[in-house]
Each structure stands twice: as structure tokens, then as C-alpha cells.
Amino acid sequence: MSALGMTAVLGGCGLTSGSDDVTLRLVAADYGDSAANNSKKYWAKLVDAYEADHPGVQVEVTVYSWNDVDREVKEMVDAGKAPDMAQIGAYADYAADDLLYTADDLLSIPVQAGFSSALAQAGQVNGAQYGMPFAASTRLLFYNKKLFQEADLTPPTTWAELADAAEALKAEGVKYPYALPLGSEEAQAETMQWLLSGGGGYTDGVSTYTIDSAENVETLTWLRDKLVAKKLTGPVAPGKLNRADAFAAFAKGEVGMLNGHPSLMKTAEKQGVEFGMVPMPGVDGESKATMGVADWMLAFKQNGHKEQVGEFLDFVYSEENVLDFSREYDLLPVTNPASDVMSAAAEDRDLKPFLDELALSELYPVGKTSWAEVSAEVKKRIGSAVEPGGSPEAILSQLQSTATTAESSAAG
């Protein structure tokens, strides 16, 4: 995807020609799936409304695809030309280098207190919030209603029921009874969803990596023996199957079950696939925790526009603007006031199950500068753990070693 720029102005110190005027520069990610709904249009409307009420402040927004935005911001920062704000996928490295304002520095008390507590906590490093959540998502188990009816199935609530359903779907000739995307695109997400449903996770919930825990070994061993070895995950090896391909197969009616986020609803509906959604099954019942994902807004200190940035972000996080963004892109609001509205609104009823899961969600350990390296290694290695003959214990041990080393390097 090519970068979508709202403005070519990226250099300079951020001051306009008027001595008291300020130009704020924001780099943002594109959430759209077509030219008709790219994020450039969302920001243009929001900025027009803001500038109309704030003479003397201009906001220049540059929108890049998700393939490019994190790299573009890093290059700007490395060149000494940090934007005032960046809406991207991670914040920990910049926080560790003391380049960011905290939320306390910027936001009014009502706005800061309005963030979902789980998301606000995930944005903290050593008790200070540097990452301001901008968009959120959770996962549910999607199932194809037609295929389930043909196999006389009800949605699973336990791992055993999921495996039995997959067996029945395979017997009916379903191509992917359960799609298990552990390919390089987003293996860390599918893995985390399963680890949580098995009572484990990447960390102990506080600060220590526990990748090689007994619970995690048991989870991957179950996946290897009960799904993959029995050929219940389709013709493509999980380590070669990417999320986008699994979603496309679901929209074609080729998948019985898979973990999905809200955007899959629209994709499936366009193709006429009737689907249901239920919480992720756990070992003995509904999973006690689910995976949440957040993208982040961060503010760099380099240009010194603390007051103007804070006022603009208060506007960005107003209930109306958070609702507009969430509804446009089928994402979950990151503030409690907007969540309350969506939970009660008939127009948002499709998103309510995901909203309900957000309260139970755990996020990646994004406050750790080591997470990027650990996540990359999960993407490379985890698929081999569930191959027939693979060793979950060995792979998880290797990943734990990677995490421990990366943590030591970060601390040093």
C-alpha cells in the first residue's frame, strides 16, 4: 500500500509565520480498507472542526499505511525531526529514551480518567502513562452457521467441544474445520488467544515473561495433538497460514471456526456468510481472559508544544470524536463514556459482544521494549511447535530465552 499523505510538510520546527501561531504535526495510521474510508478523511474533518474553534493553531496530518507508519515515525525521530504526535502501534522504545510527554503532562483530568482502565494500564511504564490508547479490538470465536447446522452442531464452550465440532465439520467435508493462523503475519495474536484460554499467557500479568510455563506447554501440546495432528486445521500448515488468508477463507464459506476481530463481520457479510460469535472456549468452559489489542497515540517533547498538544488531544478524545472513529472503522472505543453509549445503542449492537470482552481482556506486554523482539520470534517459531512431531516445550523454552535476553539488554 502506498503512503497516503494529507500534507507534504514534514520538516521544520513546527512554527508558522505568525509569531504566536503554532503548527502541530501528527503522523497517523490508515484504518481504511478503500479510498472511500481512508483515515485521511477522518482526520481532515476533525482538524477542520478543531481549527475553526482554535485560531492560531494549525494541525497538519500525514497518514501512512500500517505497513509504513511505524518505520516512517522512527526515521523522523532518528533524523531529529520528531512529529508532535504519532498515532502508531507501539510507544515503549520512545518512552525508554525519554522522548515522550506523559498523559499527565497533556490531558485534562476527565479525559485521562475516561480511558478504559485495562487500556490505560497497558500504556504505562513504571507507573507513568506514555501510551494513550487510540483504538482497541478484542477477539471472539466466529463460526459459520450454515456449516454448523449441516453438521448438527452448537457453538463450543470448551476445548473438547471445539475439537469434537472440528471432527464433525471435517466429516462434512469442510476445508478448514478450525483455521489456526500461526503464520508470520499475526501469529503472536492467535498464540496469545490460545495461551490465555489455557490459563497462561506471555507474562505473569505483571512484569515477568512466563512463556515456557507448564500451562503454555499444555496448551500448545493440545493444539498439536487434538487439532493439527488430526488434520482439523485445513490444508495449509498453521505456520504457513496468515490471518488475512484465514479471514478470506471464512468469507468464502470454507472455514467452520476461527478467532476473529470486528472487521471480519463486514467482510463475511459482504460475501453472504451467516456467522455467529461466542467467547473463546477454555479448557473447562468459557475462557477467563481474552486478548485485547490497542493502538497508541504518543506525543513527543522535541517541539515543546505541550499546551497546544494537550488541548488538541482533549478534543480528539471527546465522546463524539471517539464514537465517530470507532463506528467508521468497526473498532472499540477506548474511553468509558463512548463505550457506555455504544453498549446501549441499537446501531452498535454487533459490536457489543466485543465490548463486553474488552473488560476481560489482556493486552500484549507493550510497555516492554523487549516485546517487539519477542513478538518477532513468536511469529518465526511458534508454528513449528504445533506441527506433528513438533516440541512445544523446546520452542517455548527458546522463546523464553529470547525474552530473558531481550529484557536484560533493555535493563542494561
Percentage of the chain lying above the pLDDT 70 cut:
94
Cβ within 8 Å of residue 79, ≥6 positions away: none
What are the phi and psi torsion angles at 132 (to 5°)?
Answer: -95, 115
> What mean pLDDT do residues 16-23 have?
63
Task: Report pLDDT for 412.
Answer: 64
- Could you report the per-residue pLDDT of 73-128, keeping only the tens digit for each? 999 999 999 999 999 998 999 999 999 999 999 999 999 999 998 899 999 998 99
Protein fold of 140-279+370-411: D-Maltodextrin-Binding Protein; domain 2 (3.40.190)
- The confidence score (pLDDT) of residue 93 equals 93
Instruction: Check residue 20 and give its pLDDT.
Output: 67
Structure confidence at residue 8 (pLDDT): 30
Q: How far apart are CA 360 and CA 218, in angstroms?
A: 22
> What are the pLDDT digits (tens) for 311-365?
999 999 999 999 999 999 989 999 999 999 999 999 999 999 999 888 778 999 9
> What are the domain boundaries of the chain?
22-137+294-363, 140-279+370-411
State pLDDT tens for residues 368-403.
Answer: 999 989 999 999 999 999 999 999 999 999 999 999
Q: What is the pLDDT of residue 3?
A: 30
Please state the pTM of the whole predicted model: 0.86
Per-residue pLDDT for 63 more than 80? Answer: yes
Superfamily of chain region 22-137+294-363: Periplasmic binding protein-like II (3.40.190.10)
Mean pLDDT over the full length of the chain = 91
The answer to whether 22-137+294-363 and 140-279+370-411 have equal CATH topology is yes
Per-residue model confidence as pLDDT tens digits over 186-232: 899 999 999 999 999 999 876 799 999 999 999 999 999 999 999 99
Q: What is the mean pLDDT of residues 148-173?
A: 98
Average pLDDT over residues 12-16: 36
Q: How confident is the model at residue 270 (pLDDT cuts 50, 70, 90)?
A: very high
In the predicted structure, residue 12 carries a pLDDT above the cut 80: no
326 exposed, middle or buried (CB, 10 Å; 0-12, 13-18, 19+)? buried
